[in-house]
Amino acid sequence: MEKFLNLGSQPLANSYIKKSNLKLKEKKFKLQVGFNKKNYLVSIINTVPKEKMFNNEYPYKSSESKTMRKSFKDLAKKIKKKYKPNFIIEIGSNDGAFLKNFSKNIAVGVEPCKNLARLTVKKKYKTFSEYWSIKLAKKITKIKKADLVYSANTLSHIKKLDEIFNAINYSLSRNGILILEDPSLLSCIKNVAYDQFYCEHIYVFSTIALKNVLKKFDLEIFDIQNTKTHGGSNRYFIKKKINNIYKIKNSVRAEISKELKFGLHKISTYKKFSLKVKESKKKLLKIFLKAKIKNLNIIGYGATAKSCTVLNYCQVGGNFIDYFYDTTSYKIGRYLPGSKILIKKYKKLDKKKVDIAFLGAWNFKEEIFKKEKNFIKKGGKFITHVPIPQII
């Protein structure tokens, strides 16, 4: 693996700090990203033990996002119409935002974060609060195999991909399909969205890399959809090679050719990206400095895991940002890891109190701009770092 990006010493992205713990030393790790020339996988080099990240205090809930709720609902509708599954396993079922679109008799969840698993159990969905493994796959599919395995924004969080796909392969019926959804490496590199890299995102997948990983298990991608979630994601439709029901669609060839044209198979592309990240840091700091000199009131909007990478890499803290607004109940009253900026309960932006808001949740830009149209009308601005740092 060749290292191409160094994002410095970073805290654990989703470890929001309680006021009483502000003085305690935070756990840090070196956030470095590398490229594997053999299989084209891009991954962080030093990983954090999964138990430290996915425990009974996991803050992210899919259901709290309108965009995610809609995305899952639309996909579920398509799945029911096209694939008519009788047994669905969701790996990383979070709080049930996807599962809830299916009958309780046919859909089960796997969710190691106990605080989240409790929520799907409450909704009467059978949920296994364990990490996905071959042992668990055998237990779940003892009576029948799954005709659909779904996993969104989860497999990129798991280090041992071979074990994961082995267990998925075991779980799938002969003609069963696997649908995966994760941030797209092409979007990440094109948008200089280096904040897709944090402790939980062990991998950011490209199609060419995923294809190589799947090959070992006689699994193949037969369709790809680009989605807007999480700043540009890919939804991969995967089948066993022996399954001839689904032909490989042009979307797969098209995505691969886009990736090769952009150079996702070459280390030089990642080295160029790394230079752009350094540039991005300089530009972002310049913008913050200028705004501060003008005495403008700057806050943060959306205390995302992604913003943890940006703030800590660029060393932006209370020196520039007074506080963050966020809608997630768990985060309110806590402080962002590393930068230790207070997170307050979201209120509609008021131009009398706020001049500029740093878009931590840039992936929800459209939703946020709609919500804050009055602030924008009155001359309120946003700072974003994607694709280039600018005031909008």
Options 93-101, 117-125, 268-276, 361-369: segment touching ligand TYD (CB under 6 A): 361-369
Q: Does position 305 bind ligand TYD by CB under 6 A? A: yes
* Residue of 224, 368, 383, 386 interacting with ligand TYD (CB under 6 A): 368
CB 71, CB 230: distance < 8 Å:
no
Q: Is residue 327 involved in binding ligand TYD (CB under 6 A)?
A: yes
When asked if residue 346 is in the footprint of ligand TYD (CB under 6 A), the reply is yes
Among the listed ranges 25-33, 74-82, 297-305, 310-318, the one in contact with ligand TYD (CB under 6 A) is 297-305
Minimal distance in Å, beta carbon 304 to ligand TYD?
3
Query: What are the percentages of helix, strand and coil residues in the chain, rounded to 5?
Result: 35, 25, 40
Does 168 help bind ligand TYD (rule: CB under 6 A)? no
In whole angstroms, give the CA distance from residue 117 to residue 70: 21
Residue 345 CB, nearest approach to ligand TYD (Å): 10
Helix H or strand E segment including 183: strand 172-183
What is the x/- site pattern for ligand TYD, positions 114-153, by CB under 6 A? Answer: ----------------------------------------
The answer to the question of residue 61 lying near ligand TYD (CB under 6 A) is no
Eight-state DSSP code of residue 224: E
Of the candidate residues 35, 132, 364, 382, the single one contacting ligand TYD (CB under 6 A): 364
Residue 359: which of 392, 329, 337, 335 has the closest Cα? Answer: 392
- Residue 302 interacts with ligand TYD (CB under 6 A)? yes
Record the tokens describing residue 8, joined without a space.
Answer: 């410095």
Pairing of strands 107-110, 127-128: parallel
Q: How far is the CB of 302 from ligand TYD (least distance, A)?
A: 3
| Rounded CA Rg of the chain | 21
- Site string (243-282) toward ligand TYD, x via CB under 6 A: ----------------------------------------
Element holding 187 (H helix, E strand): helix 185-190
Question: At residue 192, what is the residue type?
Answer: V
Taking contact as CB under 6 A, which single stretch among the options 94-102, 168-176, 350-358, 359-367 is the one that binds ligand TYD?
359-367
Binder among 48, 303, 311, 383 for ligand TYD (CB under 6 A): 303
CB burial readout 125-157, b (16+ within 10 A) else e: bebbbebbeeebbeebbeeebbbbbbbbbbbbb
Q: Does 326 participate in binding ligand TYD (rule CB under 6 A)?
A: yes
Q: Out of 60, 128, 237, 270, which residue is the one contacting ligand TYD (CB under 6 A)? A: 60
Hey, how many other C-beta atoms are within 10 angstroms of the C-beta on 83? 18
**CA-based end-to-end distance of the chain:** 38
And the tokens for 121? 């159990």
Contact present, 383 and 359 (Cβ < 8 Å): yes
Q: What are the backbone angles phi and psi of residue 122, rounded to the nearest 5°?
A: -60, -35
Query: Interface with ligand TYD by CB under 6 A: which residues?
Result: 60, 302-306, 325-328, 331, 346, 361, 363-364, 367-368, 371
